[in-house]
Each structure stands twice: as structure tokens, then as C-alpha cells.
Homo-oligomer: A and B are copies of this chain.
Amino acid sequence: MATSTRRRQLGRPVSIVGAGITHFGAFKEKTSRDLFTEAFQDMMGSLDQGMDVQDIECGYLGNYSSDLFEGQGHTAPIIADWLGMTPAPITRIENACASSGSALREGMMAIASGLYDVVLVGGVEKMTNLPTEGVTDVLATAADVLYEIPAGMTFPGIYGALAKAHMDRYETNLDHLLKVGIKNHVNGALNPKAQFNISILDLMESRKTRAEERGQPVPEWKDEMDFLNDARANPWIAWPLRLYDCAPITDGAACVLLVASELAGDFTDKPVHIVGTGQATGRPLHDAEELTSLSAAKEAAGQAYRMAGVEAKDIQVAEVHDCFTIAEIIATEDLGFFAPGEGPRAVDEGRTSRDGDRPINTSGGLKAKGHPVGASGVGQVIEVFHQLRGEAGERQLKNPDLELGLTHNVGGTGGTCVVNIMRRG
């Protein structure tokens, strides 16, 4: 296939010069436009040199379904008006949970095309207006309504099936899944913008303290694994996935400012260059070739590696799409960080921790940072941007040679996958 081998190049290099993100969480009183404006103001504050909003020439907004979540279609120009960006064009990009990963690519192409020099790319989702079952139903529309939904599938069930397939084929077990969650919460505890800015250990201790304060029997959990294996603390959602295997329901927004690389110096002394990008489409789950890997992820990664002229082993930090813990394990295999079936062992050995040789989801990932679906792709990019600039605070990686990072953003069960590779400027 033409898409599988060709090395594609952008006609003009593109850099990220600013980034802004809201606190991720549940904010009942805020609308998408409120959230996006917060992220935008945070981005404006991140620029070394000031900028007028009217200098933005074009915008892209990743959003999964403000239609179903807020009853608002055509949401992009309404947000642009809120920011004072009119008459600059803005376009909503929808590829389910990969919406803002795709939006980033549209922003890059808009610059590389020669049409624009300064482009705002962001994402937003306001999910908590609906009750949990309602959110699950809205997310389920990202599966195939003709084949998958009528079979009773929702995403916890779908990813549960992937986990079961991985366990059947490889030596993956329930503990591997739980350890991904523990690791990501350890990272999230160091991220002040994270929805779960707390480790599982501290969650466990706070549960004990609360029981004690209420005069209830204090559970005798001795460590995180003990806590997570207790169905009272961590109920089954869709076997083999439990509550702490699932990313939360989140409100949030994130945005970055992209510019033609030759102009980056006008905005910052520390640009981050986007050196590789890939996007691919996979068959829906009911029609997929296999369940232990997402074909679109492998394809998108191959495109991005070829464009960047690097290999999987060169990537020093990665944010991957851990909508469920099993998804992180599969991602690390699809990206070539570990051989098929070797992802679980890498978790066991701590290789994906912040002090491992292959740190994954230093932000806390979707699991702990939160998963406002339309914003998640750009949220990942922002973590890599901060790590490469040495601005990740308490969770900053120690590696002094850190210069190459990757993001992996999935829509559905790999109907869409976007991979971007960034290099420190």
C-alpha cells in the first residue's frame, strides 16, 4: 500500500512555541467556551514575547461531541468569537478521542501549505453535564452503530475484550494492568493540573483515614496492590478491567500555538519542533484483523518515524493513549518500544516509570491526568513540550540529554490513530 512505505515530508517545518491547559476535572458550572478560554489565556501567558490575539491567522479545534454533551454544534466559531479571534478561520476536527491529535496535524499542514504562519490548535470537551451512563452512551457512538452498539458493546467492554485477548495470547495478567494505573497515578500526583493529583497509595491511606474518622472498620490494605485487588475499593467494570483500569470522565481544554519554524524565534527562545507525524485509519473492531494490537497505531507510528528519520529506540519520553490500562500496554508494543507481548514485562520491570529507560505518561496519562476526549491529544503534546523544555516541575525527567518525545492518540478502538514526534529546538 502506498501509505505504508513512502517517507512523507512537510514542505515547511513547524514548531510549537506556546502551550496552555486547564486544570482537568469536573467543573459543573463551566461551558466549553469557558474552559477553552482558560487554556487559551494560559497559552498566551506561556509566550516569552507577548502576542495579540489578532495575530493568530487560523485555528483548529478538536472536539468529540459538544453536540451530544452540550447541545451545541458549530462550536469552533463560537469559541473563536469568545477569544476575539474573528475573522480568522477556525474549523472543528472530529476523530473521536483522537480529535485534537488530528487537529494538530491540520495545523501543521495549514502552515506547511504556505497559507498561514501562526495557527492555534486546541481541543476541548465538557463531559460532566450528563450522568455517567449518559457519558458512556455518548462515547459508545464512536463505535460502529450498525455492528458493535447493537451487540451491547460500550468502550469498557470493548477494551475488556482487548485485554482478554492479550491475556490469552501472551503472559499478561491482572497485576500488569493494575501496575500501569499505579505508575500513572504516581506521575499524576506530581501534576498540579491532573484530575487525580494523587497516588493510589495516598488514595488508599485517605480511605483508611476517612473510615477511622467515621468510626467504621478500617480496611487492612497493606499496599496499593492489596487495595486495588479489593473489589470494594476497585469494583469490576468489564472483566478484566476494574474501576482503576479506566480513565475518568473529565472536563478540560488544551491548546498550543504553532508557527512556521523560521518565525519561532519571534515567540520563544525554546521552541519545540514537530519533526514527524503520522495518522492512519483502522477497521472497526468487529472487522479488525486482530485484537492484541491496533493496526492504525503501527501504521501511524511508521509514518512518523520515517518522517522524523528516527526509530522507536530513539524516543526518550512518550505520552500514549491509556484510556484503559490495557491500552497503554498495547500502545507501547504497537509503537515498537517493546516487542509484541513484552509490554507487560516492561511494566513489571519499571521500565515505563519516570526513572525507567522508557518513561511513559509522565503527566499521569489519561488515567490520572484525566481524559476530556477532544482535548486529550493536545494535552499529550503539551506534556512532551514541557518535558523537552525542562518545565515539567516535580515530574521533570532527569535525563539531561532529553530531546525527542512522542505522542500516541487513539480514536475509538483504533479507527483513528495519530502519532506525533517532537524534538527540542
Among candidates B67, B109, B110, B113, residue contacting A67 with C-beta atoms closer than 8 Å: B67
Q: Which residue in B71, B77, B287 is a CB contact (below 8 Å) of A416?
A: B77
Question: Which chain B residues lie closer than 8 Å to A102 at the CB level?
Answer: 89, 91
A57 CB within 8 Å of chain B:
yes
Q: How many residues of A contact B (CB 8 A)?
A: 74
Q: Complex: how many Å from CA A364 to CA B94?
A: 31
Of the candidate stretches A80-88, A184-192, A263-271, A319-327, the one touching chain B is A80-88
| Contact partner, A142, options B73, B81, B94, B141, Cβ 8 Å | B73
User: Is A92 an interface residue when CB atoms closer than 8 A count as contact?
Assistant: yes
Specify which chain B residues have a CB less than 8 angstroms from the CB of A78 in the assembled complex: 144, 284, 415
B281 close to A67 (CB less than 8 A):
no
Nearest first, the 8 A-B pairs at minimum CB distance are A11-B114, A112-B113, A89-B279, A77-B415, A74-B96, A73-B141, A74-B142, A109-B113
In the complex, A143 Cα to B81 Cα: how many Å?
A: 13
State how many angstroms separate the Cβ of A273 from the closest Cβ of chain B: 16
CA of A116 to CA of B106, assembled, Å: 13
- Which residues on the B side are within 8 Å of A143 (C-beta)? 74
In the complex, which residues of chain B have a beta carbon less than 8 angstroms from the beta carbon of A108?
A: 113
A20 beta carbon closer than 8 Å to chain B: no
Q: How far is the CA of A363 from the CA of B150 in the complex (A)?
A: 39
Set B8, B10, B94: member contacting A74, Cβ < 8 A: B94
Task: Say whether A54 faces chain B, with CB atoms less than 8 Å apart.
Answer: yes
Contact A2 B281 (CB under 8 A): no
In the complex the two chains form, what is the Cα distance from A25 to B96 in whole Å?
29
The reply on A95 being an interface residue by CB < 8 A is yes
Interfacial chain B residues near A370, Cβ < 8 Å? none
- Distance between Cα atoms of A112 and B76 in the complex (Å): 24
| Interface residue ranges, A against B (CB under 8 Å) | 1-4, 8-12, 31, 54-55, 57, 64-65, 67-68, 70-74, 76-78, 80-81, 85-96, 102, 105-106, 108-116, 138, 141-146, 149, 279-284, 287, 295-296, 299-300, 411-412, 415-416
- Chain B residues near A112: list those with CB within 8 A: 11, 109, 112-115
Which residues of chain B are within 8 angstroms of A283 by Cβ–Cβ distance?
A: 81, 86
Q: Judging by beta carbons under 8 Å apart, are B54 and A1 in contact? A: yes
Given contacts A3-B87, A87-B282, A102-B91, A96 and B73 within 8 Å (CB-CB): yes
A145 adjacent to B91 (CB under 8 Å): no
CB-based contact A81/B287 at 8 Å: yes
Cβ–Cβ contact B282 & A77, under 8 A = yes
In Å, the complex CA distance between A296 and B72 comes to 20
Tell whether A94 pairs with B92 under 8 Å between CB atoms, given A87-B295, A112-B113, A280-B87.
Answer: yes
* A321 nearest CB across to chain B (Å): 14
A67 touches B70 (CB 8 A): no
Residues in B with CB closer than 8 Å to A299 are: 87
Q: Which residue of the partner chain B has the closest CB to A412? A: B74
Contact B93 A10, beta carbon cutoff 8 Å: no
